[in-house]
Amino acid sequence: MQNGSVNQLRPEESEAAQLLRARLGADEVIPRYVPGAPEGTHDFDLTIGNQVLAVEVTTSADAVARSFWDAVHNREWEEPSLSRSWGLTLTSGARVHRVKDRAPRELQVLEHSDVTRFRFGQASATRDPEAVEALRSLADLGIQNGISSEVSPSRIHIATVGDGAWGGAEGLREVVEHEASTNAGKLSRAHADERHLFIWLDWTSHRAQAAVSSILRIGVAPPVPELPTGVDTVWVAPSSMVDSDMFLWSVSPPDPWNLSD
């Protein structure tokens, strides 16, 4: 990269630039969305000889799930009102602060009824009406299940998100078309020979995750997307995809996907 350019790019942009530079054999990386640049400027240019490639970097993520995990991060706390420690599994739409405020008193009711675990949708072993009502309240908070232990001091630990959406390889086309439509404006204004969109696939992007699984494990080829004017090539790579290896795929319609790593 040019001297000083690394500091002008965000980490995800810098990493994308390094991947593309290595793959394409680019000569320089020139940041474009720098202080003083017009709003809506793309992130950087790559130069290959006399050719200029404009690049915009984005991330495909489920905003609700990402917000949830940002809130959950390091959310394990001591709860002296309880006699046992509890691990709780939340749905992605659950409000962590509501769980922290309201779950302890419902868990106290379960402890008094000797309930040590529960799962939403399964019949409870208790017939205590107060415990049954506590279970309903916990479900209303978005708690999928809970399990307790005798670990001391008593704590509440937020475990994993309990839901997800799954599909096939066509999910990658849907993600690409959505992100390309969203970012075409920036790239269409770029003065360049080619315009490229780089998409990081976040693990919360369930459609992308399912598509990657189909492609890597089953060998299903993803459909070629329809790209809007202003986007010539799309690159995709995992930011933290679950159970997948690192890859860098590209597509320049109407040509098929290049799935070489």
> Angle 96-112/63-72 helices, nearest 10 degrees?
60
- Phi and psi at residue 248, to the nearest 5°: -140, 105
Number of other residues whose CB lies within 10 A of the CB of residue 76: 13
- pLDDT band with cut points at 50, 70 and 90 for residue 3: very low
8-11 long-range contacts, CB within 8 A, separation 24+: 8/34, 9/43, 9/44, 10/57
Number of other residues whose CB lies within 10 A of the CB of residue 105: 12
Tell me the C-alpha distance between 76 and 148, whole Å.
14
Q: How far apart are the first and last CA of the chain?
A: 22
Residue 67 neighbours by CB under 8 Å, 6+ apart: none
pLDDT for residue 93: 67
Please compute the mean of the pLDDT values over residues 67-72 and round it to a whole number.
56
Quote the pTM value. 0.64
Which helix (H) or strand (E) segment holds residue 160: the answer is: strand 155-161
Q: Average pLDDT over the chain, rounded to whole?
A: 85
